Amino acid sequence: MGDLLLGIVLALVPMPRAIRYRLRLMAPEAARRADRLADAALPVIAVTVVGLLVAAIPPGPATSLRLWSVGAAVGLATGIPFALERRGWRRRVATLPPLAEPVATGPHTGDATRAAAEALDRGDVAAAGALLAELEGEPDPERLRLAALHAARAGRGGPARLQALRASQLDPDRWDVLLDAGVALCRRGHFTAGVRLLERGVELSGRSRPALLLLASGEAVAGRLREAVTVLDEIEGVSRGRRR
C-alpha cells in the first residue's frame, strides 16, 4: 500500500525534479507504479478531452460554460504530445543497465590503498576514512579516487566532486575516477555534481561506449530523460559506425 500511495504522489503531485527522482531512487517499486499510472492516464486524458468538446456542442449550456469546456479541452490536449514523448523516453531508458555501485578495489589498487578500498567495498565507510587519513605523501589519482568514493558514500557531494576533478588533473588518463565518483553521486541523489563528472569523464575517454552508457544511466537516474535518450542515440551511432 505504501508503494502504491507514493507512486500516486510521484505520478500526480507537482514537485521539483530533483526531489521526485530522489524519491524514485529510495522507492524503486513506487517509481514503477508511477510510470504505469502515467501511461494509464493518457487514455483517460484523451477521453476527457473528447467529453469536454462534446459538452460544448449543445446550445443549452451558458456561453461561459461552453467556452470553459473548450478551453479545458484544448489545455489538456496540448499536454498529450508531451506525455507521449516522455513515455517514449521512459521506454528507451528502460533498456539501460542499472547504475551499479562502483567497486573500490580495482586494477589500480596497490598495497598502500588496498585496505581502504576493501573497507569501502564491505560498506565500512568510517574505517575507510580512517585508513585514507593514515596514508602519507602526496595524493595520487588512486588515493583521490578512493577519497572521492568515500566522500560520496558519506553523503558529501562537494568534496567527492573536488577529489575526482583533482585526480583527473593529475592524470587525464584516469577518467575512470570521474566516472566512478559520478556514478556514486548519482546513486545518492547528488545529480548535478554526478552528471557533470560523468560528462567530463566521457570527454576524457574519447566518448567511449562504456563511458557513454554510464552517462546515459546517470542522466536517466537524474530524471534527464531527453538527455539520456540523446546519449543513447550517440551510442547507437557509435555502434553502427564500428560495425561498418
pLDDT at 240 (0 to 100): 55
Task: Report pLDDT for 170.
Answer: 94
Residues 142 and 180 in one domain: yes
> Which domain range does residue 126 map to?
111-243
155 and 223 within one domain: yes
Report if residue 100 sits inside a domain. Answer: no
- Does 99 map to a domain? no
Element (H, E) at 215: helix 209-221
CA 140 – CA 173 distance, rounded (Å): 13
pLDDT band at 244 (very low <50, low <70, confident <90, very high): very low
Domains: count for the chain: 2
Same domain, 162 and 204: yes
Assess whether 88 and 141 both reside in one domain: no
Kindly state the DSSP code that residue 97 receives in the 8-state scheme. P
Q: What is the pLDDT of residue 60?
A: 64
The reply to whether 129 and 75 lie within a common domain is no
Would you state the pLDDT for residue 6? 87
Co-location of 58 and 125 in the same domain: no
Per-residue model confidence as pLDDT tens digits over 106-143: 999 999 999 999 999 999 999 999 999 998 787 899 99
Mean pLDDT rounded to a whole number for the chain: 87
Q: Is the pTM of this model over 0.75?
A: yes
In a domain, 80, yes or no: yes
DSSP letters, 121-157, are HTT-HHHHHHHHHH--SS--HHHHHHHHHHHHHTT-H
- From 33, 64, 93, give the residue that closes a domain: 93
Whether residue 167 sits in one domain with residue 73: no
CATH number for the domain spanning 228: value is 1.25.40.10
pLDDT one-digit tens code per residue, 57-79: 777 667 777 777 778 777 777 77
Distance (Å, whole) CA 235 – CA 47:
38
Is there a single domain that holds both residue 162 and residue 221? yes
Task: Classify residue 102: in a domain, yes or no.
Answer: no
Look at residue 142 and tell me if it is in a domain.
yes
What is the pLDDT at residue 125? 94
Same domain for 127 and 75: no
Q: Is residue 155 domain-resident?
A: yes
pLDDT digits (tens, 9 = 90+) for 166-213: 999 999 999 999 999 999 999 999 999 999 999 999 999 999 999 999
Distance CA 95, CA 102 (A): 20
Coil/strand/helix, residue 102: coil
Q: Which of 60-64, 231-235, 239-243 has the highest mean pLDDT?
A: 231-235
Mean pLDDT of 81-85: 76
Q: Is the pLDDT of residue 12 over 50?
A: yes
Same-domain pairing of 138 and 237 = yes
**Domain match, 86 and 115 both:** no
Q: Is residue 84 part of a domain?
A: yes
User: How much is the average pLDDT of 28-38?
Assistant: 84
Say if 141 falls within a structural domain.
yes
Which residue, 34, 60, 93, sits at the end of a domain? 93
207 and 180 assigned to the same domain: yes
